[in-house]
């Protein structure tokens, strides 16, 4: 078992590979699809955006995002960069590995700072696989979602010193009602409260899925 109420064990990468949902967004065939499937990953590819909500509601554990040629309907000017911005602004806990055949030219782009990693599209399978495994292991722990929550709180974390233990209780299967009341009473920005609650809610669902 990966995670249980009141106790935590080290995630098992073999279990994660079989349960995690990976999405590739690429208008061309992804060269490593066959190898990922061979090694036991659930792997889906969208040549175009099929559902924006599924990109931000925790439906996928990890998204591999091509930065060129996708998102033409949703963000014709920025394409994949626009999708990246939307996903990470809506759900900072969503792991996105961005890739491009023009990584060097894009390396200074401020949008790319939102991605969890940026790699060359032509990178080897083992490079992709190592990144995917690393992020799956991180996402299977409460600490990942606490880290994202604190990043969203930023300086306002000082206003809610009990947010971490309260969020941990929710992640371990407790009710979010107490956390919601606490954040609402202490934080002046309702949108910030909603973002934190979204992170914790998605984290709770992810941890329960991996533990089942």
Question: What is the CATH number for 102?
Answer: 3.40.50.2300
Q: Which domain holds residue 178?
A: 142-211
Q: Is residue 211 over pLDDT 60?
A: yes
**Phi, then psi, of 92 in degrees rounded to 5:** -60, -20
Strand partners, 87: none
Pair (31, 79) in one structural domain:
yes
Same domain, 135 and 122: yes
pLDDT of residue 109: 78
**pLDDT recorded at residue 107:** 52
Domain match, 130 and 152 both: no
* The domain boundary residue, chosen from 139, 162, 193: 139
Same domain, 106 and 150: no
DSSP label of 22: E
| Res. 1: pLDDT tops 50 | no
pLDDT at 212: 67
Taking the C-alpha atoms of residue 95 and residue 69, their distance in angstroms, rounded to an integer, is 20
Among 1-5, 52-56, 120-124, the minimum mean pLDDT is found in 1-5
Percent of the chain with pLDDT over 90: 84
Question: Which of 99, 116, 139 is the last residue before a domain boundary?
Answer: 139
What does DSSP assign to residue 172?
T
User: What are the tens digits of pLDDT across the range 165-177?
Assistant: 999 999 999 999 9
Q: What is the DSSP secondary structure assignment for residue 3, as one 8-state letter?
A: E
Q: Helical H runs in 69-189?
A: 80-90, 103-106, 125-139, 142-153, 163-171, 177-186
Report pLDDT digits (tens) over 105-138. 555 578 889 999 999 999 999 999 999 999 999 9
Q: Are residues 101 and 175 in the same domain?
A: no
**Per-residue pLDDT at 31:** 87
- Confidence class of residue 87 from pLDDT cuts 50, 70 and 90? very high
- Note whether 121 and 207 are same-domain residues: no
Same domain, yes or no, for 110 and 196? no
Domain boundary among 122, 139, 156: 139
Tell me the pLDDT band of 40, cut-offs 50, 70 and 90. Answer: very high
Reported pTM: 0.90
Residues 128 and 179 in one domain: no
């Amino acid at each position: 078992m990966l995670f249980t109420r009141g106790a935590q064990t080290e995630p098992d990468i073999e279990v994660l590979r079989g349960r995690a949902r990976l999405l590739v967004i690429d208008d061309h065939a992804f060269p490593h699809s066959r190898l990922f499937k061979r090694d036991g990953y659930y792997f889906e590819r969208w040549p175009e955006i099929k559902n924006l909500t599924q990109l931000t509601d925790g439906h996928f554990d990890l998204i591999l995002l091509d930065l060129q040629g996708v998102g033409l309907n949703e963000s014709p000017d920025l394409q994949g960069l626009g999708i990246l911005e939307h996903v990470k602004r809506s759900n900072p806990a969503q792991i996105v590995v961005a890739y491009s055949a023009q990584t060097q030219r894009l390396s200074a782009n401020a949008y790319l700072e939102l991605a969890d990693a940026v790699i060359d599209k032509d990178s080897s399978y083992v490079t992709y696989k190592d990144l995917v495994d690393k992020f799956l292991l991180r996402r299977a722990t409460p600490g990942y979602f606490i880290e994202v929550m604190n990043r969203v709180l930023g300086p306002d974390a000082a206003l809610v010193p009990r947010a971490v233990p309260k969020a941990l209780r929710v992640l371990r299967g407790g009710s979010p009602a107490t956390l919601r009341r606490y954040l609402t009473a202490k934080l002046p920005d309702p949108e910030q409260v909603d973002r934190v609650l979204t992170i914790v809610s998605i984290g709770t669902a992810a941890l329960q899925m991996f533990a089942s």
